[in-house]
Amino acid sequence: MIVFNVKFLVVLLMIIETSRAATKTKCQVVQALRAQGVTSDSELRNWLCLVEKESSFRYDVTNSNSNGSKDYGIFQLNDGFWCGKSNGYSGTICWRLRTNGCQDSCSSFLNSDISNDANCAVRIKNCDGFSRWEGWKNKCKGKNLNKPKYDPSGC
C-alpha cells in the first residue's frame, strides 16, 4: 500500500511539473513585452488579460478554429495571418505585416523562448489594436483590469 502511494505521488508530481514547465509567469510575459517597447501599465494589463484568456500563460498551446486555421503559442498567433508564410515580414509597416505576416514559423511560437512571439504580437497590436484577438475582445475589452493578477508593477 505504501509503495503504491509513493508511486502515485511521484507520478502526480511529474504531471504537475510537466504542466508548469510549459507555462510562463506574469513577470516573464511582462519582461518579454517590455523588451519590445511596451511600457504603459494600462497596455501591459491588457496584454496580461489577453494572455490569460487566450492561452492561460502556456506557450506550447495550439487551438483549432472553425475556419480551419490554427492559433499558436502564448499569444495565440494565427497561421492564416501571422506565421508560417514564406515571405514573412520583420518590419513595422502595417500593410506589409497584414499581407505577409510575421517572419516566423508557427512552430517557433510553441517553444519556451517567447521573445519572437512578443515581437510579432506587439507589431500586430501596434497596427490593429487588441481587436485581432477574440479572447481579448470577448473577455478583456471594457473590463476592469485593475486587479492584482494583471498588475505589472512588481515585475
Q: pLDDT 10s per residue in the chain (155 long)?
A: 554 443 443 333 334 443 446 999 999 999 999 999 999 999 999 999 999 999 999 999 999 999 999 999 999 999 999 999 999 999 999 999 999 999 999 999 999 999 999 999 999 999 999 999 999 999 999 999 999 999 999 99
Domain ranges, ordered by start, for the chain: 24-150
DSSP string, 107-136: GGGGSS--HHHHHHHHHHHHHHGGGG-HHH
Task: Write down the pLDDT at residue 2.
Answer: 57
Task: Write down the pLDDT at residue 3.
Answer: 45
Cα separations in angstroms, 19 against 12, 16, 61: 11, 5, 11
Sequence letter at residue 146: N
Task: Write down the pLDDT at residue 32.
Answer: 98
Contact (CB, 8 A) for 46 and 52: no
Task: Write down the pLDDT at residue 21.
Answer: 63
Cβ contacts of 61-69, under 8 Å, gap ≥ 24: 61/22, 61/110, 62/110
Show which residues are catalytic: 54, 71
CATH (residue range 24-150): 1.10.530.10
Cell of 45: 494589463
Which H or E run contains 62?
strand 62-64
Task: Write down the pLDDT at residue 43.
Answer: 98
Biggest alpha carbon distance in the chain? Answer: 65
- Burial, 144: exposed, middle or buried (Cβ in 10 Å; 0-12, 13-18, 19+)? exposed
Task: Write down the pLDDT at residue 101.
Answer: 96
Closest CA to 55 of 122, 127, 109: 109
